[in-house]
């Protein structure tokens, strides 16, 4: 998780969003680059409020609970169901299901809407393939990718017509399970390495309706090579088999710190690149976008902003107070 409490508040002048936009020149990413710069896919920006972390992630070994509702035409997952400690979610400053509307919840409602629209168009044969598969990445560690991936999954799980599978694809430093307070177990890498293992049996159900988790599994030292094998396409296809309304979110390693992200980009239809305000550099952003260029649809999510010249505060209409 990312500690987002130490970003200094600018005393005056342009907002962090405006300053970041001016520094990165996001529009330039959509234009033909200079001869010494590689081409980059079009990028879009969606701001998100920071979330200070007040407690380290800790595993909670919950007792199995009854599974939530399953879509009528979906291939059922056979893993054990576990309860997610709502208090642990609050400690991690994550979206708490069935709770009051907050600014964080409202912001991820806006972020997910464009992603769901692209996924629906992909299912209908418009746009890129695999739009229901979303890669969440960042150039460097510490820019908030896991925080955003988990909150995005929690937000999509609240949809009435969708369910979501959150895949921990950061094999070297997995953190999704500890962030949600879930026990460890076999995961995606185990299913890729062992042809006899069914990936469905590795999936953890939760008592949050519509939310499923696929752990990273055991690291092998050949993680990138397994991801690049032909079996990866077969395994990922099983995750959405007979489930047209299932969204799969991959929390990948940072693009400039490990190689799996660039391989996973070949198997997804959308990528959300986390850009940390006042931290992510333009050169790093360009390099990361280029590494993930196998995915044609790369969106930028500006994270860690603490100031808005417009005074915008999502959630206040529902009585939320900061």
Q: What is the reported pLDDT for 228? A: 96
202 inside domain:
yes
196 domain-assigned: yes
- Tell me whether residue 114 is in a domain: yes
The H or E element spanning position 163 is strand 163-168
Angle, nearest 10°, between helix axes 16-24 and 282-291? 70
81: in domain: yes
Confidence of residue 306 (pLDDT cuts 50, 70, 90): confident
Q: Residue 311: enclosing H or E segment and its boundaries?
A: none
pLDDT at 278: 86
- Indicate whether 29 belongs to any domain: no
Q: How many domains does the structure of the chain reveal?
A: 1
Q: Answer whether residue 248 is part of any domain.
A: yes
Give pLDDT tens digits for 75-94: 566 557 899 999 999 999 99
Structure tokens, 201: 């049996």
- β-pairing, 204-206 vs 81-82, is parallel
What confidence score (pLDDT) does residue 296 get?
Answer: 93
Whether the CB-CB separation of 244 and 111 falls below 8 Å is answered with no
Report the range of poorest mean pLDDT among 58-67, 75-84, 248-257: 58-67
Q: Which domain holds residue 154?
A: 36-53+72-318
Mean pLDDT of 6-11: 40
Q: Is residue 145 part of a domain?
A: yes
For residue 144, the tally of other CB atoms under 10 A from its CB is 26
Determine, yes or no, domain membership for 236: yes
Cβ atoms within 10 Å of 316's Cβ, excluding its own? 14
CATH code: domain of residue 109: 3.40.50.300
pLDDT on residue 75: 58
The pLDDT, as a whole number, for residue 56 is 36
Residue 242 binned pLDDT confidence (cut-offs 50, 70, 90): confident
**Band (45; pLDDT cuts 50, 70, 90):** very low
pTM reported for the whole predicted model:
0.76
């Amino acid at each position: 998780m990312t500690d987002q409490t130490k970003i200094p508040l600018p005393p005056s002048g342009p907002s962090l969003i405006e300053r970041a936009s001016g520094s990165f020149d996001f529009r330039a990413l959509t234009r033909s680059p200079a001869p010494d710069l590689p081409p980059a896919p079009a990028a879009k920006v969606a701001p998100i409020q920071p979330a200070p972390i007040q407690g380290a992630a800790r595993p909670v070994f919950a007792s199995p609970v009854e599974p939530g509702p399953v879509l009528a035409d979906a291939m059922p997952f056979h893993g054990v169901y576990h309860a997610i400690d709502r208090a642990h979610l609050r400690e991690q400053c994550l979206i708490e299901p069935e709770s009051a509307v907050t600014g964080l919840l409202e912001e991820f409602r806006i972020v997910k809407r464009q992603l769901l629209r692209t996924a629906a168009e992909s299912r209908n044969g418009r746009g890129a393939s695999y739009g229901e598969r979303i890669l969440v990445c960042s150039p460097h560690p510490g820019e908030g990718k896991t925080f955003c991936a988990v909150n995005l999954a929690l937000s999509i799980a609240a949809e009435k017509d969708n369910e979501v599978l959150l895949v921990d694809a950061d094999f070297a430093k997995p953190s999704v399970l500890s962030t949600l307070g879930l026990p460890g177990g076999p995961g995606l890498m185990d299913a890729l390495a062992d042809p006899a293992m069914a990936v469905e049996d590795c999936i953890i159900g939760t008592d949050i309706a519509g939310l499923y988790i696929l752990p990273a599994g055991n690291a092998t030292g050949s993680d990138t090579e397994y991801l690049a094998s032909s079996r990866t396409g077969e395994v990922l296809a099983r995750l959405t088999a007979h489930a047209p309304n299932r969204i799969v979110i991959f929390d990948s390693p940072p693009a400039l710190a490990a190689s799996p992200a660039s391989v996973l980009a070949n198997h997804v239809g959308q990528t959300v690149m986390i850009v940390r305000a006042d931290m992510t550099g333009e050169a790093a952003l360009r390099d990361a976008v280029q590494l993930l260029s196998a995915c044609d649809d790369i969106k930028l999510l500006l994270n860690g902003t603490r100031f808005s010249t417009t005074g915008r505060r999502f959630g206040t209409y529902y009585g939320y107070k900061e």
